[in-house]
Structure 1
Amino acid sequence: MTDFNNKPPADINLPVANEPGGFSGRWAKAHHILLYFVVATVVVWLSTGFYRVNADEVAIIERLGQFLHEPDGKAKIFEPGVSYHMPWPIDTVHKIPVQQKRTLTVNTFNAPADAYEDLRRSLLRRGASAELIGALFDPYVITGDKNVVHIELAVQYRIEDPEAWLMTVAGQHKDTRDARESMMNFMVCDAVLKRMGRLPVDGVLLEGRRLLPEMLGTAIDDAMSFKARKVEDAQHEDHDHDHAHKNDPDDNKMGDGHFHDEEMHIGVKVSQVDLVVVRPPNYVKTAFEAVLQAQADREVLRNRATTEANNLLNQAEAQARQQLAEGDAYYRRVVEAAKGESARFEQVYIQYRNAPDITKWSLYTETLRQVIGSADRVFSVQPGQKTVLSINPPEFDANRVQQNNPGQ
């Protein structure tokens, strides 16, 4: 470094701008380093815009707080593959597994006993019965005839509308999936309460596992739609006008804006509902099991009687068909024989009209041939002639007599 203190003014050498180690040189070097750093940072930032969508997913891009839309107004869906978007914070990629089946377990009406285990132990020490504690604290649902049952569901669903699924819960929630499942759990509980409120307890407990899944599946799928109040062209003219309309609950207008109810959907499709638990309260479980056993015995007896009745009916129908077939065959046989005899008689009658004597002789000889043909011995006797016929007695077979009379 140049020393300015120990040299006279004439001997002072000022630093030159392009002198190595000078101020301008150091600044140029720092400027280049900063430029390289900025360029590298921009390149790395731009490279973060590449993303991959798996085969069972689709993607929706949110740009500056708004989803990218198609010309028809629907959200733009990006299919599986590798794509590029503007890096964060300009764009945000939301990947939605539309092919994945999810299961939501709803045990709101059948919470386990460990949820109040401490209180349960305290009451048991004080002499309260377990059945009474369960009756007081176990969650339940009320049927249409004011009875209590416990029910637990496993709802299988998949995402059908990615845009509606993303818009269901705002993004500022820490865990949007838990928030969505909490809302779906609320909707399922609402559908269960409404459906169970129309059914008797016998229909739930006795036929519930056969009929309830389909009924609840339809009700839950319908419950995933809801009405939301939306405002159009809302412009407040002044505070007094706003306050006047705000105090009127029946007025659907606010300033120049109009409210209307719009049908909305959370974007899921319920594919199956499984009943994990359908049971009566523990303190009446024995009585319900007795009823179930009686119902089962009744069904067994009814099925047995129905089977026997069907067998007898089938046998009777088979006999009736056989008799009808035999009668029809006999009828056809008699009719055909009668037709044959009638045709033969017509032919003989025509021959008789043409040649009576010849026809008589032909009939006589034919009849005589039939009679003589069945005889073992034939004797020809002239009119007025007497003859002696020798007839041998039948042969006696002792063995045949012994076989016909074994007891003698």
Structure 2
Amino acid sequence: MRAYAELSPSPRTIMTPGPVEVDPRVLRALSYPILGQFDPEFTALMNDTMEMLREVFRTTNEWAYPVDGTSRSGIEAVLASLIEPGDRVLIPIYGRFGHLLHEIAERCGGRAVTMEKEWGAVFDQAEVIEAIRRERPNLVAIVHGETSTGRVQPLDAIGRACREADALLVVDAVATLGGVPVETDAWCLDAVIGGTQKCLSVPSGMAPVTYNERAERKILARKRVERGLRAPGQPNVEPAEGRRPIQSNYLDLAQLQDYWSPARLNHHTEMTSMLYGLREGLRLALNEGLEERFARHRLHESALVAGLSAMGVALYGDPSCKLPVVTCVEIPDGLDGESVRAMLLRLFNIEIASSFGPLKGRIWRIGTMGYSCRRDNVLHLLGAFEAVLLRHGVKLPAGAALQAALDVYEEG
């Protein structure tokens, strides 16, 4: 019989757009004893989590809770619960994850109408508003922070236009929640999906979502209660007349809402340890202060960008819509980008990311998110990146990157 080695993952400096390093206090919370999912002590933790999520999402919505699964589970739960077969869905695409929204919308039976922007830029809100007025969609789905290109899409005017057109606005804020302002109520966002493994610095495994009464009305019109859970004479066990039930059982917001409500109608076994971790990550974010947290992300982004610019490498994309928590660097012509990434990992224990689709092999992506967004990480990366590029024959001004970053920190 084979003897397996004790688990001992290597310590890494993770500077990708996710997952990122996890705060040690979150790791400690993950180790706490298991409680039963209907233990009053545990349901009190569920209520705490909902309350803190409302603050982080900046909303007064009644419903703000995590879907158990990675960020994609939250996206799919929201779209599957809101898109009925035949619904017209407008999807503005400016990177990989806009294409994902398109993919999921079609699988839900939606009639997708897409508009595309060249990767590296975002939409002028007027372009999207014009499309909303022209296409009259039932739902608009859009990415807030596109990690594949390092861009962030303005949304405030789009949300108001959706209200005027009586369209629901669903926003993928997986990359921005907890690191960049996400103004759910002020921007008139009807449903928003966040991620744990990025700016909140919690392991992947839960997808925080929030949605308002406009979205809830459509969800409840499609509600079906599992046969094995129905009590005699229970009302609202089948969808309203003429409405299609939500096609997923696990990713059904109507049933999840019952589970997170005071009724605690059983849906699945809650991910106890992950909830501990999420609650601790939210507590840390709120204790830091959201505005202070946003400012911290901007500071370390500025130091990183200053260092890379002083090094002489080219940054990718339109700087006017740069995502503060992801910096994209063009790979110099003739250089093997994967060789650079491999050497950073092998010699310095630093991980950065490549990209996808049309940007595969063209850019590196460097994340400054959550607990990974620290001065020591930025300085370590700049020094190591310079050394690795020099070893690959790139001519650059040695030492300039660290000095430029230090100038930013001294000013900041």
What interval of TM-score do these two structures reach, taking the shorter chain for normalisation? under 0.3
TM-score (norm 1): 0.20
**Which structure dedicates a bigger proportion of its chain to helix?**
1
Higher relative contact order (CA 8 A, sep 6+): 2
Please give the TM-score of this superposition, normalised by the length of structure 2.
0.19
- Which of the two has higher C-alpha Rg? 1
Q: More strand per residue: 1 or 2?
A: 1
